[in-house]
């Protein structure tokens, strides 16, 4: 059974509160997205496999653990997912980065694909799909389908704010994908925006509105 985790850490809740505030400007918003991405990655990497190693300290030999070193990839959903990449890389710097360009048609709310570029060995990598918003779930589901079509098997979704509708759709279409988010909100409004949410994540990260 895949994981669905809403992080309840005090630092996460504090940063989400500031990020939601409509008076928070682009610079601070971008920084918070990055910091939250790091904190979520910390939780989402809890199951990384370890191997035993012996380390010579200045005093004695220590029996330690190090990462087995599976190959990882970060795949942001453009545009807003880009804001999370640096935060994920802070703790998994060796991960390759793929990009998927999707935007939601404002009328149908369905995702429209305009770009897809993956590392050539994506099928051998564990993949972290990142996007701050999981609203209807259409974008995340399509992105994950595109990644699975290229052979990836172990995929996690990392987001900041989710609506119940988005979680339900992602669970139904991709029951194998673990979901990690910083907050689970009440509902979607008639325009497919998360309520209370934080508005348009892409616009707030890139200052386009």
Tokens representing residue 112 in the block: 């429209």
- Report the residue from 77, 88, 152, 161 that binds ligand PRP according to the rule CB under 6 A: 77
Tokens representing residue 105 in the block: 């048609």
**Residues 84/89/95/96 CA torsion (nearest 10 deg):** 50
Site stretch for ligand URA (CB under 6 A), options 21-29, 31-39, 46-54, 186-194: 186-194
Nearer to ligand PRP, 71 or 184 (CB): 184
Nearer to ligand URA, 80 or 102 (CB): 80
DSSP, res 135:
S
Told to check if 133 binds ligand URA by CB under 6 A, we report yes
Residues 15-74 that bind ligand URA (CB under 6 A): none
* Shortest Å, Cβ 208 to ligand URA: 11
Told to check if 158 binds ligand PRP by CB under 6 A, we report no
200 tagged catalytic: yes
Rounded Cα gap, residues 159 and 40, in angstroms: 8
Tokens representing residue 44 in the block: 């989402």
Told to check if 198 binds ligand PRP by CB under 6 A, we report no
Tokens representing residue 192 in the block: 């497919």
Rounded Cα gap, residues 116 and 141, in angstroms: 14
Q: What are the backbone angles phi and psi of residue 156, rounded to the nearest 5°?
A: -125, 145
Catalytic machinery residues: 104, 108, 200, 203
List residues near ligand PRP by CB under 6 A.
77-80, 102-104, 109, 111, 131-140, 166, 192, 200-202
């Amino acid at each position: 059974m895949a994981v669905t985790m809403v992080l309840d850490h005090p630092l996460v809740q504090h940063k989400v509160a500031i990020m939601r505030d409509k008076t928070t400007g682009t610079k601070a918003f971008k920084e918070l997205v990055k910091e939250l991405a790091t904190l979520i990655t910390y939780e989402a990497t809890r199951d990384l496999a370890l191997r035993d190693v012996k380390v010579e300290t200045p005093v004695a030999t220590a029996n330690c653990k190090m990462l087995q070193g599976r190959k990882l990839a970060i795949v942001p959903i453009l545009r807003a997912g880009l804001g999370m990449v640096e935060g994920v890389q802070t703790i998994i710097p060796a991960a390759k980065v793929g990009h998927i360009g999707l935007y939601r048609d404002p009328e149908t709310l369905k995702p429209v694909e305009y770009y897809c570029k993956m590392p050539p060995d994506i099928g051998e990598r564990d993949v972290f799909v990142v996007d701050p918003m999981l609203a209807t779930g259409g974008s995340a589901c399509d992105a994950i389908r595109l990644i699975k079509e290229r052979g990836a098997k172990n995929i996690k979704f990392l987001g900041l704010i989710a609506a119940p509708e988005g979680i339900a759709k992602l669970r139904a279409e991709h029951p194998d994908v673990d979901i990690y988010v910083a907050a689970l909100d009440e509902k979607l409004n008639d325009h497919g925006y998360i309520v209370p949410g934080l508005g348009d994540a892409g616009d707030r990260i890139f200052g386009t509105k």
